[in-house]
Copies of this chain bind each other. A is one copy, B any other.
Amino acid sequence: MAAKGSGAESKRSQRKAPSPPSGREPRGEQPLSLPRIVATAVELLDSEGLDGLKMRRLADRLGSGAMSLYWHVGNKDEVLDLALDSVLEYRGPAQVDAPDDWRGQIVHMLTDWRAGMLRHPWSAALLPRRALGPNILSRLERLSRTLSSAGVADADLNVAIWSLWNYVIGATTTRASFDLSDADRAAAQQRLTDLSQHYPTIERSRLLMDNDWDGAFSKGLDFLLDGLVPKP
C-alpha cells in the first residue's frame, strides 16, 4: 500500500509567529495563507467542478497573482490533496448515542462520510486516486476499533474494513458521477430507456431509473454488515 505523495513540498518553512497583520494592505484583501487557499479551492471546486479549478482562477478569487500561490503550495496536486482531506473531517456522532451500539456508530460514520463527499462531488472521484490524508486515516482507525469491539475476528478485520471502504467509495463515486451527468437529465433519461430495451431484466427492475440512492445505500450497507458480522 502506498501514498501517492505528488512530491513537491512548498518552499516556505513554517512561519514562526505570523506577526499580526501589521496594518497596511493595498486593497481590502487579506494576505495569502495556506488555510485561505485551501478554503477557496474548496469553494471553487464546489462551484466549478474538478475541471474548473485552475491556478489562475483560484488566484483571481484570492485577489492575488497566480504565481503567488506557489509560495504556499508545491503544485496544483497539492492543492487538491489538501482540499480533499479538508472535506473529510469527522466529528463523531452526536453525544446522545448509545456508546455500545457498534452498528449504529458504523452506519453513522459511513453515512456521514458519503454525505460529506456528496456535498463536494468532486471529492469522490478524487479520493481513491490520491494519498490517504490524516482525516481519512482517522476514519479508518475509528472503523477498525468499532469493528473489533463488535467481535470481528482479527483475521477478518482488514477484509471487513476494506469491504466497507470499497462499498462507500463505489457507492459515492457512482452517485456523484450520475449526479453530474444529470445536468442533461432529459436527454439522458431517453437514451437510457432506449438502451435498456436491449437488457430486459434490468429494464424490468428499472435499475437505471431508480432514484432512491439514499435508500439503496443504507439497505446495501445493512446487507454487507449482515455478512460481516453474522447475527447470533
Contacts and interface: CB of A to CB of B under 8 A. Distances in A.
11 contacts: A1-B188, A1-B211, A3-B191, A4-B180, A144-B202, A159-B220, A169-B170, A169-B174, A222-B227, A223-B228, A226-B226
A162 B125 contact: no
A128 interface: yes
Interface in A8-51: none
Contact of A2 (B163, B173, B188, B210): B188
Contacts of A148: 201
A168 interface: yes
A138 B210 CA distance: 18
A98 interface: no
Nearest to A210: B158
Which 6 residue pairs spanning A and B have beta carbons closest together? A166-B170, A227-B227, A2-B188, A170-B170, A163-B220, A223-B227
Contacts of A61: none
A2 B192 contact: yes
B162 A220 contact: yes
Interface residues of A, number: 74
A181 interface: yes
Contact of A166 (B174, B195, B222): B174
Contacts of A201: 141, 144-145, 148
A158 B159 CA distance: 24
Contacts of A4: 177, 180-181
B160 A223 contact: yes
User: In the complex this chain forms, how many copies of it are found?
Assistant: 2
Contact of A138 (B174, B199, B219): B199
Contacts of A224: 163, 167, 223-224, 227
A129 interface: yes
Nearest to A179: B2
A138 B141 CA distance: 38
Interface in A189-213: 189, 191-192, 195-196, 198-202, 205-211
